[in-house]
Amino acid sequence: MTAYLGRRLAQALLQIWGAITIVFIALRVLPGDPAELILGSQATPEALEELRGNLGLDEPLLVQYATHMRDVVALDFGHSWRQSVNALDACLERLGSTLSLSAWAMVITIVLGFAAGSFAARRANTWADHLVSVSSLVGQALPPFWIGIMLSLIFARWLQILPSTADGTMVSLLLPAFTLALPFVGWLGRLVRTGILEEMNQDYVRTAHAKGMSHRVVFYIHVLRNTLVPVVTMLGLLMGYFIANGVIVEVIFAWPGIGSLLIDSITFRDYAVVEAVLTVITVCYILLNLLVDVLYVYLDPRIQLENA
Amino acid sequence: MTATEGVGRRRFLSLLGAGAAGASLPGLVTGCAPGGKGTGPAAGGNRPLSAAFYQAINDLDPHGASAVDEASLLANRQIYDTLVAWDGAKATPGLATSWRQPDETTWEFTLRDGVVFHDGSKLTSADVKASLERLAASDGPQKPLWSTVDTIKAPDPSTITITTKEPVGTLLVNLTLAFILPAAQIGKGDLSRKAIGSGPFAVESFTPSSQLLLKPAPGYWGGASKLAGLRLPYIPESSTRMTSLQNGEVDVTWIIPPDELERLRGVDGVKIESKPGVNYFLTWFNCGRKPFSDPRVRRALLHALDIKTIVSSLYGDAAAVMDAPIPSAVFGHAPQKPYAYDPDLARRELAEAGHGSGIRTSMMWFKDTGPLATELAQSIISAWAKVGVVVEPQQIEKAAWLKRLTALDWDIELQVNTVTTGDADYTLGRLYTSEANRMGYANKELDGLLAKAKATSDQDERKSLYGRACEIIWRDAVGVFPAALAATYGLRSSVAGFVPAANSQPEFRTVSTTG
């Protein structure tokens, strides 16, 4: 177990290093100069030169990269020129909002996804099953920003029963969380449906039925539990999707998370914040994957660690 | 332990709110007309006034890198005071009750008595001196405004004396951007987040580019606000922002996108107020590049545009056709004779200039520079195509646009410019000198006029000098100046005492809400 964890951890570190490097290169390849954005259009060339020097932008790229990696190891992403604060602090103070949004989206996905999946599985190949399948396909095909704007128009503008922006209440969480969750409810539903149908054909189900257990007990206690294994793997990835997809959804609903911060920082070439946010997202994603690998083992002790 | 209890209670209350919203759902769906006041879950009660500007507030440091962002200025106007204010034509008293000019380069201000900062400390000339010195030494975008300041002295607690290296006619206008903070905070406090000023509102909490929460400063020298508080949220998506106004989540929002204006006028519980603004579209020709170095070509392109039709069909009354290189709301504006729409004349002039076979060129802009910028660019481009000028549209990202703009690496460009101070010096004096070289245009006569206008403090003389400058820039067709954008505000009808501001920085001290 320890050796396995150690190896996965080393892989994770390598992935994080790769992500930081790609982000660093991508940002420098983009046209646009922070010094110009800071000083505005009336800046003199001398002032620009001086500021570039202060920001370290006049160094060769490799030197900038080395400095950057050294700072990142010390968890120092530098100073946000837009907000005049430490970039990582600016990111971390908004991470909570993003995580709570993602967590609620996850709760909605799990509850509705399992409900839809088991509903469809128990009525396999009836019109109800097909209805669930078709709507889940439609749900997955719709882009999140469109779903967001539609939900906002319907529930906030026309019906006026839900707030369209974050105001610190639980109610204001509903629209963005549903927007994030909807495309994945159908996806999870189909996963659960397939899982259940496969399990239903297993010998142990027949045995359980044969020894006189009620259909409900067999279904909810045995079958559903066994479908969890593939589903949990997917849920770990899903949390990562939610954090990343949140970027657009946060902008639509003025949700004060790292997504809206990221968009703003890219526009103004606030390198430090962009790097901090992307690194935090990457680390979250990789750690979640690690967590899933570990959970996997606990859910199904039969799984061989070395082959996992 | 207390913290956990607090969180628990808040969550419980919000869940209660969710339940209530859910419980009243059937009634709302059947009983309420859309737009009815109080249907939104956030409406009602003694809550702070919520005012959403369309841009984000990032930093409360009034001398920092974002200090002349419109959103920063909006926040700073509520939190801080300035020595003088500006009513569009002249300076009016602020922290300074009176001022005089013993000689051309010396200004002496007498400070208001009994002004206190939000932390309770008394405001003296030492605070003013420290703030102005910090501003003059700052690396930010205000630097050029203060480069001519020589000394700042505080001979006694209620007097401040500023001397300049040369006569500066715009000193009073520039001082409307010079926010005063306590000397004791400079170099100590976290000015970006925990701002302390002497203005009508004090900071309660601030999350950059998300929300600024303010509370009225009791005993403000100009009269304290009666609001429970003032919330300035940032709502990036404009359709969401309109929704929040319609369902009462926000009480005031500006700017209203031109394509939403008509619709909002018909919405119950919402009223629209507007004022000619200081934001305007401009389309410069790169006058240092062929073929635009020839003024005949530039004039021909102006005759090829039916500006009136383009602007009114795109913007309705959300923008006004311009008759000078600066909007009519700006000090120094002088109306000029419009270029008549005459495509035949345009073709003839192009032929005379040796471009009878047409011109191939390009125009660059970034999408968010202003409302319907892409549509405006396309209208102009298609009009030019009709006289044989083929323009390649280049919609690029802001940072890339700025880089090419300053490098003069473009043929034609389109942008929304802001006359932040409301004074012609800020735009004409800053952008059109040969030294600034912002669009390749150089004119000795214009340089002389602008330098003279900068140096004099006689307002009538300045006005006539800038009038001459407007004439030259217009006559030489340095650019197309299509439209001045109106400052358009959407308000809940319950909001009273609101005065729309041309510069997007309205005052909230006098605002109250009914019902």
Q: How large is the angle between the packed helices A87-122 and A171-200, nearest 10 degrees?
A: 50
Which residue do the tokens 């809400």 mark?
B513
Interface test with A, best of B15, B76, B235 (most A CBs within 10 A): B235
- Give the rounded percent of residues in chain B with a pLDDT score beyond 90: 68
Distance CA B85, CA B193 (A): 25
Please indicate whether, in this complex, the C-beta atoms of A83 and B192 are within 8 angstroms of each other. Answer: yes
Q: Could you give the angle at which helices A61-73 and A2-29 cross, rounded to 10 degrees?
A: 140
Inter-chain residue contact B249 with A167, CB threshold 8 Å: yes
Chosen from B206, B212, B243 to mutate, greatest number of chain A CBs within 10 A: B243
Q: How far apart are the first and last CA of chain A?
A: 11
Does A127 lie at the interface with B, CB-CB under 8 angstroms?
A: no
CA distance B453 to chain A (A): 19
Whether the CB-CB separation of B118 and B217 falls below 8 Å is answered with: yes
A23 vs chain B: nearest CA distance in angstroms? 17
Domain boundaries, chain B: 63-185, 201-275+488-513, 276-486
pLDDT digits (tens, 9 = 90+) for B265-278: 999 999 999 999 99
pLDDT digits (tens, 9 = 90+) for B70-86: 899 999 999 999 999 98
pLDDT more than 70, % of chain B: 90
Residue B128 near residue B110, CB atoms below 8 Å? no
Note the Cα B353 to chain centre separation in Å: 39
What integer is the mean pLDDT of A125-139? 87
Q: Is A78 on the interface with B (CB under 8 A)?
A: no
| Rounded CA separation A248/A241 (Å) | 12
pLDDT at B488: 95
Q: Is residue A3 scored above 50 in pLDDT?
A: yes
Residues 6+ apart with CB under 8 A from A232: A292, A295, A296, A299
For B402, which of A37, A84, A158 is closest by C-beta distance? Answer: A37
CA distance A30 to chain B (A): 8
Report the gap between the CA of B112 and the closest CA in chain A (Å): 32
Over 70: is that where the pLDDT of B380 sits? yes
Among all residues of chain A, which has the CA nearest to that of B397?
Answer: A267
pLDDT of residue B146: 87
Task: Give B191-219 pLDDT, tens digit per residue.
Answer: 888 899 999 999 999 988 899 999 999 98
Comparing A241 with B469, which gets the higher pLDDT? B469
Residue A217: how many CB atoms within 10 A of its CB?
A: 12
Nearest CA in chain B to A34: B399
**In angstroms, rounded to a whole number, what is the distance separating the alpha carbons of residues B116 and B220?**
8
Judge whether residue A306 has pLDDT over 60.
Answer: no
pLDDT computed for residue B23 by the predictor:
33
Q: Do A37 and B246 touch (CB under 8 A)?
A: no
CB B322 within 8 A of CB B497: no
Average predicted confidence (pLDDT) for chain B: 87
Among B residues 22-51, those touching chain A with beta carbons less than 8 Å apart: 24-25, 28-29, 32, 34, 36, 39-42
At B271 the pLDDT is 95
Distance CA B446, CA B341 (A): 27
A26 Cβ contact list (under 8 Å, min separation 6)? none
Report the C-alpha gap between B183 and B189 in whole angstroms: 10
Instruction: Pick the closest to residue B36 from A160, A150, A63, A205 (CA basis).
Output: A160
* Confidence class for position B46, pLDDT limits 50, 70, 90: low
The CATH class given to the B276-486 domain equals alpha beta
Q: Are B28 and A263 inside 8 Å of each other by CB? A: no
Question: 3-class SS at B274?
Answer: strand
Is there a contact between B402 and A81 if contact means CB atoms under 8 Å apart? Answer: no
Task: Name every residue whose Cβ is closer than 8 Å to that of residue B185 and which is 6 or more positions away in sequence.
Answer: B191, B196
- B436 and chain A: CB distance < 8 Å anywhere? yes
Taking CA atoms, A193 is separated from A133, A198, A231, B183, in Å, by 10, 9, 11, 68
State how far residue A253 is from chain B, nearest Cα, in angstroms: 7
For an interface test with A, give the residue of B10, B147, B192, B237 to mutate (most A CBs within 10 A): B237
Residue bearing the bigger pLDDT, B97 or A34: B97
Which DSSP helix (H) or strand (E) runs through A236?
Answer: helix A224-252
Mean pLDDT of A148-176: 89
Give the torsion through C-alpha atoms of B63, B68, B69, B75, to 10 deg. Answer: 60
CA A90 to chain centre: 19
Residue B167 neighbours by CB under 8 Å, 6+ apart: B104, B105, B455, B456, B457
Q: How far, CA to CA in Å, does B193 sit from each of B75, B188, B351? A: 12, 12, 60
Return the pLDDT at A1.
Answer: 64
pLDDT tops 90 at residue A73? no
Most B CBs within 10 A among A39, A170, A251, A270, hence the mutation to make, goes to: A170
Q: Does A90 touch chain B (CB under 8 A)?
A: yes
Q: Do domains B63-185 and B201-275+488-513 have the same CATH topology?
A: no
pLDDT for residue A27: 82
Verify whether the Cβ–Cβ distance A165 to B29 is below 8 Å.
no
Query: Which of these ranges, A72-81, A122-131, B29-38, B239-248, has the smallest mean pLDDT?
Result: B29-38
Residue B110 has pLDDT above 90, yes or no: yes
* Domains contained in chain A, CATH given: 103-269 (1.10.3720.10)
Distance CA A192, CA B94 (A): 68
The residues in A 199-228 lying below 8 A from B, measured between CB atoms, are none
CB-based contact A161 B436, cutoff 8 Å: no
Mean pLDDT of A244-257: 89
- The amino acid sitting at B398 is K
Query: Does B27 score more than 50 pLDDT?
Result: no
What does residue A128 show for φ and ψ, rounded to 5 degrees? -65, -40
What is the value of ipTM here, to two decimals?
0.80
CATH dotted code for B63-185: 3.90.76.10
Report the CATH architecture of B201-275+488-513: 3-Layer(aba) Sandwich (3.40)
Rounded Cα distance between A161 and A30, Å, is 43
Mutant choice from B211, B251, B364, B406 vs A, greatest count of A C-beta within 10 A: B406
- Over residues B31-35, mean pLDDT: 31
Give the best-scoring range by mean pLDDT among A39-48, A77-86, B469-478.
Answer: B469-478
Residue B208 contacts A, CB cutoff 8 Å: yes
The average pLDDT across B137-162 equals: 88
Which of A288-302, B422-436, B441-455 has the least mean pLDDT? A288-302
- Quick check: A165 and B17 CB within 8 A? no
Chain A residues 41-60 within an 8 A CB cutoff of chain B: 41-44, 47, 50-51, 54
> What's the rounded Cα separation, in Å, for the pair B385 and B304?
9
For B255-310, list the strands marked E by DSSP: 270-285
Contact (Cβ atoms closer than 8 angstroms) between residue B270 and residue B470: no
Could you tell me the sign of the dihedral formed by the alpha carbons of B117, B121, B125, B127, in that order?
negative
Quick one: how far is CA B247 from the chain centroid? 27
User: With 80 as the cut, is the pLDDT of residue B8 above it?
Assistant: no
**Predicted pLDDT at A237:** 79
List CB contacts (< 8 A) between A267 and chain B.
397-399
B398 pLDDT higher than 50: yes
Residue B504 pLDDT > 70, yes or no?
yes
Of B41, B144, B403, the CB nearest to A32: B403
pLDDT of residue A150: 93
C-alpha distance from residue B57 to each of A33, A57, B68, B143, B503 (Å):
21, 26, 11, 21, 16
Residue-level pLDDT at B151: 94
Section A153-173 average pLDDT: 87
Question: Is 90 exceeded by the pLDDT of residue B389?
Answer: yes
